[in-house]
Structure 1
C-alpha cells in the first residue's frame, strides 16, 4: 500500500490540475448533494470548516445553513496543543484569518459549543474510502476531537479523493457517510 504522504501528494497534484470553474462547479454539486440528504435536513447544529483549495469548497454549505437558520459552528485550532474547539457564527463577517491562513471565528465574539451539541459534522480530508476511512493532512485534529462527539460525521470528496483502501492507524476515526461527486456511500 502506498504511503500516506504519497497519497496526499498525488491527490493534491490531481486536484490542482482542475480548472477553477470545474472545481467550483463540482464543489457546488457536492454541497447540493449534501443539502438534499436527510442528515442535513434533520440537523439543527452543523459543524463545518472554511475550506482552502483544493478541498471541496464549503462556502455554499455555510451560506445554505445560515439561510436555513441552522446553527453553524466552525473550529478554532490550537496548533501548540494540536486541539480544536468549535464556536457558533451567525455570519462570515465573524471570521478572522489566523497565522496559518485558516479562517476561524473571532475569539472575542465566539461562543463555545460543546461537542455533544453537534448533530452533523462535515469532516475535511485529503482522501477517503466508501467505508469511511479518512486520510487528513496529518495534524490529527479531527481524530482527537471526534471521539467526544455523538453527531453524525459526513465527508465530501471529489472522485479523485476516493480510494478502495487507505493506510490507517488505530486512532483514526471512521466517517459515517462519504459523499463524492459521482456517488453517495454510507459505512
Structure 2
C-alpha cells in the first residue's frame, strides 16, 4: 500500500469519527447555511444544468436547493451507477419530490428510465467527499468511481463539505481530480480562475 493510500485511509477514519458526533439538527442547519451561501455565488446563478449528489447521512444536504433550482428552470442531474459501463453516468431528475430508488451502493439515484444528460451540458458539479483541503484536493470513499466521472466533466467542480471535513494538505494520486472551488457552511473558496465568474 502506498503512503498516499495509507494517509487517505487515516484521514477518512479521522473525519468520519468527527462527523459521527455531529447531531442531525446541526447537520440540517449547516446544510441550509451552505445552500444559502452557494445561492449568492455567480457560478450558481449562471448555471443552467447542475450535477447534484443524493446526500448520505454524513454529507451536507444540497437537495435543499432542488425546489429553487426547478423554479429557476435549472436542470437537475444526479449520478447513476451503470453496471454495464462499470461507472457513473449522469441522468436528469424530472420530479424532485419523487423518492429516488437506491442504487448499487445504497445511494439514492435516478431511476433507469430517467433521461441521460450529456456531460458537456453541465455548468456546475457539486461534489461530495469525505475530506477536502484548501487547495482543491478531495478524498472520496476510496473506490475511485466519482473521480472517474469527474475526469470527464468539463463543468466547474465544487467540493461541498461540513467545516469538519476540511483538513491540512491532502496527498494526491494520479487519478485524483482537482476541484475549482469549495463550499462549506462558513466559506466559499475558489482555486484558479474557472470558478471566478463575473
The TM-score, its normalising length taken from structure 2, stands at 0.87
The SS at the match of 1:72 is strand
Q: Indicate whether 1:102 and 2:111 are aligned.
A: no
Task: Provide the aligned length of Structure 1 versus Structure 2.
Answer: 186
Who is 1:39 aligned against? 43
Residue 120 of structure 1 corresponds to 124
- 2:24 equivalent among 16, 20, 25: 20
CA distance in 2 between counterparts of 1:45 and 1:144 reads 20
Between 19-28 and 142-151, report the one with greater CA deviation.
142-151
Partner Cα separation in structure 2 for residue 79 and residue 169 of structure 1: 25
SS of 1:95 mapped into structure 2: coil
1:47-82 deviations in whole A, cap 9, x for unaligned? 001101111112202232123221001110135754
Q: Any residues of structure 2 matched to 1:71-82 within 5 Å, and which?
A: 71-78=75-82, 82=86
Instruction: Judge conservation of contact 1:82–1:140 (CA < 8 Å) in 2.
Output: no
Two-structure CA RMSD over aligned residues (Å): 1.7
TM-score (norm. length: structure 1): 0.92
Greater strand proportion? 1
Inter-CA distance 82–12: structure 2 relative to 1 (3 Å threshold): farther
Residue-by-residue CA offset, 1:11-58 (whole Å, 9 max, x unaligned): 111111111111110011111111111000000000001101111112
Give secondary structure in 2 for the equivalent of 1:112.
coil
- Whether the 8 Å contact between 2:52 and 2:63 is mirrored in structure 1 is no
What is the alpha-carbon distance in structure 2 between the residues aligned to residue 6 and residue 34 of structure 1? Answer: 30
Partner of 1:174: 178
Q: Is the Cα–Cα contact under 8 Å of residues 156 and 180 in structure 2 kept in the other structure?
A: yes
**CA offsets, 1:63-120, max 9 Å, x none?**
3212322100111013575410011112131621225321111112x11111111110
Structure 1 residues 79, 33: closer, same or farther in 2, change over 3 A? farther
- After alignment, is 130-139 or 96-105 more displaced? 96-105
- Secondary structure at 1:76's aligned position in 2? strand
Q: Which of 87, 94, 104 lines up with 2:91 in the alignment?
A: 87
